[in-house]
Amino acid sequence: MSTPGVFEALQCLVQEYPSTSIGIGTVLDRREAKEAVDLGAKFLMSPAMVKGILSDVAEGQALYIPGAATPTEVLSASTDGAKIVKVYPVSVLGGVEYLAALKKPFPHIPLVASQGMTLDSVGAYICEGASAVVLSDAIFDKKAIAERNFLRIHHLACSAAARGNQAVRKIKCMDE
């Protein structure tokens, strides 16, 4: 939501890639959430729990991923109906070790690791129980954006996906 022209970009992406699940982050109020969903967003993320958004999307028109920092917040978000919870800001809270500690009492709650991720940390977070990781800063390199070096951004995104897939394969092999 902090990106200028975010709704215009969302609308263009949804029209250009209709079968892709496109979402929007840092949604802080119900009005922003409603507009994003009306424009075709399939998921919404927040750094904290905004209960109004959760109740607005309860009918399934979009997935709401609220943020939580503490065990109480993770449990509360899940109990209130969140299907997945973003642990934010995970790197400040203790990183991979903190996420692993949260998974112990909450193995049934899917968690997204968010804030401070690097391409090198993707595998560790997934192996410790993260269902997903937010890599916006790692992929959308500020220098590459300033230089409009979309090839570099594409390369970073492909590298992130490869590392995530490698971590998932590793977990599957350990489960067999």
CB 113 within 8 A of CB 125: yes
Residues in Cβ contact with 94 at an 8 Å cutoff, skipping those fewer than 6 apart: 101
Per-residue model confidence as pLDDT tens digits over 33-78: 999 999 999 999 999 999 899 888 867 789 999 999 999 999 999 9
CB 28 within 8 A of CB 51: no
Q: What is the domain partition of the chain in residue ranges?
A: 1-65, 68-176
DSSP β-ladder status, 85-87 and 111-113: parallel
* pLDDT category of residue 18 using cuts at 50, 70 and 90: very high
Nearest Cα to 43, choosing from 56, 25, 31?
A: 25
Report the CATH fold assignment for 68-176. Answer: TIM Barrel (3.20.20)
pLDDT of residue 173 exceeding 80: no
Give Dmax (Cα) for the chain.
47
Per-residue model confidence as pLDDT tens digits over 91-131: 999 999 999 999 999 999 999 999 999 999 999 999 999 99
Is the backbone peptide bond immediately before 66 cis, with ω within 30 degrees of 0?
Answer: no
Residue type, 121: S
**Rg (alpha carbons) of the chain, rounded to whole number:** 16
Structure tokens at 5: 């022209």
Nearest Cα to 56, choosing from 29, 76, 94?
A: 29
The one-character DSSP state at 121 is: G
Asked whether the whole model's pTM tops 0.85, one would answer yes
